[in-house]
Every structure is written in C-alpha cells, then in structure tokens.
Amino acid sequence: MTQPVTTVSKSTADDYTKDRRKHSLLSIFTRFKWRVSLTLSLVVIETLLELLFPLSIGWAINGLLEHSYAGIYLLAGLGTISVLIGSARRFYDTRIYAHIYQVVISEMVTREKAKRQSVSTITARSSLLTEIVEFFENTMPEVITTTIGMVGLLIIISAINLNIFLACLALLALIILIYFVIGNANYQLNESYNNELEYQVDAIKQPNAEHAKAHFRRLMRWNIELSDLETGTYLILWAGILALFVYAPIAAIDEGLVNYGLIIALLMYVFDFIGKVSALPLYVQQVIRLKEISNRIGS
C-alpha cells in the first residue's frame, strides 16, 4: 500500500528554520540583548569591585599596623557598594529571566506540536530548553565573573611576582589541553544521554514495567560515563592546583617580599585564581551540553 507523501511548503520550512534559531544560546541572547546586557553589566561591575577586596584587605592590615583605620573604612565602603549592586541585580534577574522562560518555552512547544512530535519528546525538550534559560540566569554571571576575575587576577599577580604568574598560566593551559582532548567525547555522551531522555515519558507509559526499568538503566549508564569523564578531569586538574598551592608561598618568600600586607594580598589573589580555575570544568561541560541541546532543539 502506497504511503501518503507529506509535503512541506517553502514558507513552512522557512518558519521552522526561523523558529529553531530562536532557541539557541546565541539567538536567545540576541533577541533579549538589551535586557540581558543590563544584568550582565551589573555582573561586570560586581566583578571589578571584587578584584579590589584583597588589595583593600592588604591596605587595611598595613594601616592597622600603623594605627590607622582608613583602610578599614575603605574596605567597609567597598563591601557596602558591592552588596547593594549585587542585590539590585538579583532582584532584576528573577523578573527578566522569568519572562524569557515563558516566551521561549511557549514558542518551542507550539513549534514541536506543529511538527507532530510525541509528548515524550516535547516534554524532554521543554526540560532541556529550561537548562538554556537557567544558564543565562545562574551560570552566565558566574562565567563572566570567572573570566574577568581571572584576567584581572593574572594582571595583578604578574605585577607582584612573575614566576607565580607563569605558574598560573601553566594551570590554565592544562585545562585548555584537557578539553581539547575530551571535548568531543563529552559532547557525544551528552547526545546519548539526551537521546534516551526523550524516550522517558513513552517508557513510563508502557504497561510493562520492564520498559521503564530498561530506560532508567540506560539513562544512568550514560550518566555514569559522564561522571567518570568528569572525575578523570578532576584528578588531573587538582594535581596541577595542588602544585600551585605549594609553589605560590615558596615563590613569594624566595622573591624577598617583606611587606606582610603585600604577601597576604598576593596569596589571596593566587587562592582566588585557583578557586576560579577549579570552577572552569563545570562551565565548559555545561557549555558543551547546551551546544548539544541547541542543536537538538533546532533539528
């Protein structure tokens, strides 16, 4: 028996192409660029203020040793401004990203229904699209803070101690090398995980419970493989971090620094840099996952 052929008009195909572009990471930012840019600008200001804290603490310590409270007043003022800006940004964030979520999810559901996708697929893709919006609200500020923070920290550290600066660069290069090697494998594992996730509602609806059991076994298998890859990255990265932990105070003393406030500020900057570097794998993995989600929703 001949199956009916479904034709799609050029205008409909163009609509699909246009719609799917609306739901990628870049296109969501482009559509709401002014609103998102405002909150990200506040993040940049917060980050720049944060860079001043270690130096302010160093100045405060030196001032107290000379019986001066000027550094303490400066530190208190810096903290107050930072808290006020951070609170205003979070107040605004909640409202703008709630609006973005409502718009893009509604559009995606309408588009997927028009393509006659199953309820299971639409449910999974709604959940996956939520991850993209949540990335803007929760992770993007952290990524900006980390990126600007690392650049600022490297500049300051290089001005105080060149050898420690080079050691910090070596740690950063290690992370780049790791994801150059495993980036594609990470993408493929996320793709396999999401393929299985799209089947979840259909698996649960099956009258035979074995379908659901098999589905969750496969889902957890991909989850374990992703976790194993992350663990390997963690071990390599922390070997480098521990080396920098040990090297930094030794190098600071060997350089002949005698200003206690400057030594404390330098070590605080190094530890702050280590904290930001240790978070990078989480951000990189999330970006890889969101790239796969964007390609999936746009398919």
**Residue pLDDT tens, the chain, 299 long:** 444 434 444 444 444 445 555 566 778 888 888 888 888 888 888 888 887 887 788 788 888 888 888 888 888 888 899 899 989 888 888 888 888 888 888 888 888 888 887 777 787 778 878 888 888 888 888 888 888 888 888 998 898 888 999 999 999 999 999 988 998 999 999 888 888 887 787 888 887 888 888 888 888 999 899 999 989 998 999 999 999 988 988 888 776 666 667 777 788 888 889 988 988 888 888 888 888 888 877 66
Reference 31, options 44, 40, 21, 17; nearest CA is 21
Contact of 79 with 49, CB cutoff 8 Å: no
pLDDT of residue 1: 41
Contact of 191 with 291, CB cutoff 8 Å: no
Enumerate the H helices of the chain as residue ranges: 10-21, 25-31, 33-65, 70-114, 119-134, 140-160, 162-197, 200-205, 209-254, 260-297
pLDDT of residue 212: 82
pLDDT in tens, 92-144: 888 888 888 888 888 888 888 888 877 777 877 788 788 888 888 888 888 88
Architecture of domain 15-297: Up-down Bundle (1.20)
State how far the Cα of 57 lies from the Cα of 59, in Å rounded to an integer.
5
pLDDT of residue 170: 94
Question: What type of residue is 181?
Answer: V
- DSSP 8-state class, residue 139: I
116 φψ region: left (φ > 0), alpha (ψ -120 to 50), beta (else): left
pLDDT of residue 169: 94
State how far the Cα of 20 lies from the Cα of 40, in Å rounded to an integer.
25
pLDDT in tens, 145-176: 888 888 888 998 898 888 999 999 999 999 99
Checking 233-238 for CB contacts under 8 A at 24+ apart, the result is: 233/178, 233/182, 233/281, 234/281, 236/174, 236/178, 237/174, 237/175, 237/178, 237/277, 237/278, 237/281, 238/278
Q: Where are the domains of the chain?
A: 15-297
pLDDT of residue 166: 94
pLDDT of residue 298: 67
Within 10 A of 58 (CB to CB), how many other CB atoms are there? 21
State how far the Cα of 210 lies from the Cα of 215, in Å rounded to an integer.
8
Residue corresponding to tokens 């969750």: 216
Half-sphere exposure for 214 (CA within 13 Å, toward CB): 8
Gyration radius of the chain over CA positions: 25
- DSSP 8-state class, residue 207: S
pTM beyond 0.95, yes or no: no
Residue corresponding to tokens 């089947």: 199
* Cα-to-chain-centroid distance, residue 37: 17
pLDDT of residue 8: 41
